[in-house]
Amino acid sequence: MSSNSESTTTTSNSLDDEDDSPWWNNVVFQHGDLPTSVIPDFPILSTTISSSFSDDNEGNSNNNNDGKPLIYFDSAATSQKPSIVTTALTSYYHTSNSNVHRGAHTLSRAATEQYEASRDTIANFIHASSRNEIIFTSGATEALNLIAATYGRANIHKGDEILITELEHHSNIVPWQLLAEEKGAVLKYIPLDTTTGCLDWSTLPSLLTPNTKIVALQHVSNVMGSITPLATITPILRTLAHPTVKIILDACQSIPHMPVNVQTLDVDFVAASGHKMCGPTGIGFLWGKEEVLNAMPPYMGGGEMIDEVSMGGSTFAESPARFEAGTPSIAQAIGLGVAIDYLTGIGMSRIEEYEREIGGYLLQRMMDVPGLTVLGPQSAEERGTAIVAFVCDGVHPSDLGTFLDMEGIAVRAGHHCCQPLHSAVGVSHSARASLYFYNTKEEVDIFIIKLKETLAMLGGGGSDNTIDDDFVPFF
């Protein structure tokens, strides 16, 4: 792996007299060697997709002679996994398979050591003050629900206020709706400024009151790609909200893509999913300040989370055991630790710099496609990662995604678990291309060619912008 360095994208918008090539041929990524160096670590990225994949009940589309090389532009939904992670899962089951914490035998000690080592890895990765601040969960959804069901139920009362935003993922909306309904609390939201594609932060002073007890935010939008300016807004939150306000951060689209230091964020909780950062599915984590976690009631009752149990009552362990009842996802936690080691070996700053290069390039090229409207900020500087959601005149996103799949290109179509956001911008669904550090400039160029061809075939770019909202086979 090469060392971290300043990242620039060289773009020439003017052509030499003897150079008739389009501007994008003159673009050079400073970190363009990154995807080339890591692609061999991801076997799935070397497979092919058959145009008849949907008819292949055996799923044997890989390596067909008539297949198209896979271009995977759906990493915001889930990232691909390097071999080192899948090998770690197999190794655990083949050599260390045992329950953790409960046994004195060799296998149990080995499993416990690997499981707890992953907790240390996560703590170091996000600069937690203590390993006890890391709670393993099934993902960010469970982490956010855990906060609502424990801290929320214990501390939110009738008349208290919860503030969220209009661009949140449903996992950061529904738990607060349920809590507000249960407790008689008031749920408010920061609206989207549709002219900029960012949240309207000017509304904060009018939305915040001394009754605001919880503020829940996405760090980076999974649709708009916009990044929340925490350094600017957290002082406002701390000043105008209740003195004990808790700021909760959905970091699913930030932690996999950029350095994150919880010591400098000035938030109280952070939720993340492992499967979006090269780790296995079914694992994620919650970070919280240790003193806050230890004051919260348990999430579930059962083994592991207790101090003492009698028929007259129970007392509970401190964090993290308090929130990890039952047998955990041991192999997945171990795999997540290996994935984080892998990302650390590449360098999170290097990943961030490359994604800003390729994300800016993707954005610029897509804005040149006739009949296509990009959702969110129109400049790369306002975007946190290489996520570009878009709609096309006269073409339903699901149709577009289906036909791009025939070309081997994987994009997502649907509302991306953000229906309020789509309602705010006046569309029901969108298509989304989301890239990671293993994607290349050449893949973007092929995507643009096939996107234009597909839109032309489907009649895109015309004046008829009517779509059938009932036809949404893919989400």
How confident is the prediction along the chain (475 residues), in pLDDT tens digits per residue?
Answer: 333 333 344 443 433 444 678 999 999 999 999 999 999 999 999 999 886 544 444 444 455 457 899 999 999 999 999 999 999 999 999 999 999 997 789 999 999 999 999 999 999 999 999 999 999 999 999 999 999 999 999 999 999 999 999 999 999 999 999 999 999 999 999 999 999 999 999 999 999 999 999 999 999 999 999 999 999 999 999 999 999 999 999 999 999 999 999 999 999 999 999 999 999 999 999 999 999 999 999 999 888 888 888 899 888 888 999 999 899 999 999 999 999 999 999 999 999 999 999 999 999 999 999 999 999 999 888 888 899 999 999 999 999 999 999 999 999 999 999 999 999 999 999 999 999 999 999 999 999 999 999 999 998 654 333 444 444 444 3
Asked if 205 contacts 235 with a C-beta cutoff of 8 angstroms, the reply is no
Break the chain into its structural domains and give their ranges: 9-72+349-457, 85-344
Which residues are marked as active site? 417
Distance, in Å, from the CA atom of 135 to the CA atom of 323, rounded to the nearest integer, reads 7
Distance, in Å, from the CA atom of 299 to the CA atom of 335, rounded to the nearest integer, reads 24
Domain 9-72+349-457 belongs to what architecture? Alpha-Beta Complex (3.90)
The dotted CATH code for 85-344 is 3.40.640.10
Q: Please give the structure tokens belonging to residue 222.
A: 């999974």
Given the DSSP bridges, would you call strands 161-165 and 186-190 parallel, antiparallel or unpaired? parallel
Please give the model's pTM, rounded to 2 decimal places.
Answer: 0.90
Residue 30, number of CB atoms within 10 A of its CB: 15
